[in-house]
Chains A and B, each alone.
Chain A
Amino acid sequence: MRRSMLFLPGNNPNMLINAACLGADAVIFDLEDAVAPAEKDAARILVRNALRSMDFEGTETVVRINSVDTPYWQEDLRQVLPERPNVILLPKASTPSDVLLVDAFLSDMERELGVEEGTFLLMPLIETALGVENAYLIASSAPRICALFLGAEDLTADLCCTRTKEGREIEYARARLVVAARAAGKDVYDTPFTDVSDDEGIVTDANLARALGFTGKASISPRHVDAINAAFSPTEREIRYALEVLEAINRAKSEGKGAVSLHGKMIDAPIVARAERTLAAAESLGLIGRKV
């Protein structure tokens, strides 16, 4: 389960070596914005070596490569792919052709490395106005795309507006990305909350992201990871209700009833599907034992 995704600067050994201890479900080794142009070579070799020799103890590894309009992205992939990071995060994905360019390169690398086609998962980072408008086309452009990821800092610069804590300026982009990703059958991740010292703000922002339908949320600080994990984990009340829903459905089936109500409300297919998702999440987090 991928609730929290923590960015770590790709050329900072002190952060990289602690990747597994920071509580995030996934860590993003950043070769893009966090690395100065003169250090791109050093960062990709360091990240490659870390992937090769360190045990991330179940923490998923994601590498943010440089965008396709730079001279760096192909060498980034050549260095890191042999070490099998779980996901490649592609910044500034604005059109399906941006994604298909990388998709084709990944297919070539899969053949070269002798691994199955589709092994390398790709997550387009949507952070331009054009990317938001093309979100569904991007999400559905290749089978290896596992999710969309919203990047609000670059997006608000492109929209010529100010990024605020409240995030009203990204309401449309958030809703659009959730709908586009879900329509394509993919997951979707929310932008980081960038005020590292605001412990209440991150809770509000993460809860909003979950309420909108995001799968999880990115972070630029280990300080935010616990709040994100909590926001995207099922609560005890949700788990209890989900168990009641499935129990009511099973009882109705055994009694040959077509319709069933719980606490005075009709239980229908979407409620059952949500209950099953809640229990699957609770099970994968070890919050319950075997699913009912």
Chain B
Amino acid sequence: MNVRTLASAGTLESSDAYVEVLPSDGGVTVEVESIVKRQFGAAIEASVREVAAALDVASCEIRIHDRGALDCVIRARVETAIRRAGGDE
């Protein structure tokens, strides 16, 4: 899937994550902002990259604003944002 446009999903409410996906060149970059980044930052980034790979995204920038979301929530928000950014092709 090609990320063609800026798109977002989720909210900044407790237990959720607000995810922004932007077009970029040179692979997938992931930026995580979370109060539990020290403990879970690497795990969050790994989940984000897994979702992007499953959707065949070769290149984009993904920004995660985590508000204590569970892994399944972060994955859902990333998938939604990527699909929106790709026009759900």
Contact = CB atoms under 8 A, between A and B. Distances in A.
A74 to B, nearest CB: 15
Contacts of B88: 41
Interface string B57-81: 0000000000001111101110110
Interface of B: 9-10, 13-16, 69-73, 75-77, 79-80, 83-84, 88
Interface residue tally on A, bucketed by range: 10 to 19
A54 B69 CA distance: 13
Contacts of A12: 13
A212 interface: no
Contacts of B75: 49
B35 to A, nearest CB: 16
A288 interface: no
A178 to B, nearest CB: 38
Contacts of B84: 41
B72 A53 contact: yes
Contacts of A48: 76
A262 interface: no
B15 A45 contact: no
Contact of A42 (B70, B71, B80): B80
B76 A46 contact: yes
A14 interface: yes
A185 interface: no
